[in-house]
Structures are given as structure tokens and as C-alpha cells.
Amino acid sequence: MATTRNKILITGASSGLGEEMARRFAGMGRDLALCARRVDRLDELRAELMHHNPNITVAVRALDVTDHDAVGEVFGELRDELGGLDRVIVNAGLGKGAKIGTGRADANLQTARTNFVGALSQAEAALSIFREQKRGHLVFVSSISADRGLPGAKAAYSASKAAVASLGESLATELSRTDIVITTLLPGFIATDMSAGAGDSAALTATLDQGVSAMVDAIESETRRAALPGLKWRGIDAALRFLPNVLTDRMV
């Protein structure tokens, strides 16, 4: 049975998946450390969570995960404020992008820096804490797009998420005989503001409630790798990874 993690840090918590995960864990009585660039939204979320869950602690900090030094400083401050960290959820990310070579390198580079280099900075900071205390749970929010390089405007995004998934697998292997657990989540289409602008298939898109429920269940069970939500996305995950390109080219 997985260990109960009572002190949880979530990045990218001002909207979408991160915001809803914060609500779920608050409802479970967990103390939270919430980070995002939009600290005004975090303050609003903190007030909401404390109103509904007056017995928990919620600490917030503004954080740009592309600022490596700031990531380490903020994680350390939040650990001290909560009296420790049991779990860090690397969730902050961007979905912007353009066809490579069409003059929008700025969008693609920003996505790559946020999604992968930012995730690496968060892993460095989290594992520095976890190695010192010899325990912890590090969760990477990757994407089903990590399975297969996507064409066009999604190329940089899918590449960045593949890098996150690879990092998660590397660390899971390295730490498999320790009390530091690594989980990599590969969500499919879940209804968020970011997905709304990505042109995702409505027929394949899960509600935010369905998606976050599956994510929280996988996090709580501390599974090593989970494509979600549901059997549909597990099937798509397997197809994208193992079917020949002549077939999967039609799926992306």
C-alpha cells in the first residue's frame, strides 16, 4: 500500500490540471505548497481552499520554472513553511507552438524551456530535498504525445513531453531500490483552457473531473507510469508506442 503523502507541492497550480489537483488534495486533508507565475490567482485559490478545508495549511509562491535558481529557492522556502515535503508534482507547462522553420522559434523555444528544462530544474530541487531526507514522491505530468512525435505546430510540445517522460523513466530506474518513488503521468485529452486552444478531438476529450480523478488515483497509488484517463487512453498509448508508423501516422 502506498504511503500517505501529507505535504504536497504542485507547480502550475493557478489553472487547469494543477488547480483542480490542488482542490482534490485539499479535500483529502493534505497540506499544500502551490506555485505558478500568477500569484494573484494562487492567492484566490488559497482563500477558497482554506475556506472549505480550514484545518490544512496552504502556502503559495510566485514561480517561473524557467528560472533555475528561483526554483531551488522557492522549493526550499515552501518545504520550510510546511515543515517538510512528501510529494512534488511537476505540472507547470505550456502548449504553444508553431510549425518549425516558419519564423516562430520563440514560441517553440519557450515551450521547450518551460516543459523540459523547467521540469529538470524542478526535479533537481525536489530530489535535493528528497535525497537529504531519504524519502519522497516525485510526479511528472507528461502527455500521451510523449509516445509519438506529433507533426506541425505540436512538434516542439510533443518533443518536450517525450523528454519529460524519459527523465521520469531514468529516475524511476535509478531510484527503484530506495524510498524515493517516481511516477510519470501521460494524460490524453482533458478539458482545460490549454486544451481548448489546441484543437483536440471533442470525442476523445475527457472532462476535467474525469481527467483529474484519474490523475489523483494514479498519484495516490504511486504507479510508475500511467496513461489516462481510462482504458481508451491506455489503448491509444499502446497503439502509438507499438504499431507501425504506417498506421500511427493516421492517428496524429
Known catalytic residues are: 157
Q: What is the distance between the terminal CA atoms of the chain, rounded to a whole angstrom?
A: 37
Give me 233's grid cell.
487512453
| Radius of gyration of the chain from its Cα atoms, rounded to whole angstroms | 17
DSSP E strand boundaries for the chain: 7-11, 31-36, 58-62, 87-90, 136-141, 180-187, 225-228
Q: Using alpha carbons, select from 167, 82, 83, 72 the residue that is nearest to residue 125.
A: 72
Residue closest to 115 by CA, chosen among 167, 77, 80, 78: 167
Cis peptide leading into 244, omega within 30 of 0? no
**Cα(170)–Cα(120) distance, rounded to whole angstroms?**
12
25: left (phi over 0), alpha (psi -120 to 50) or beta: alpha
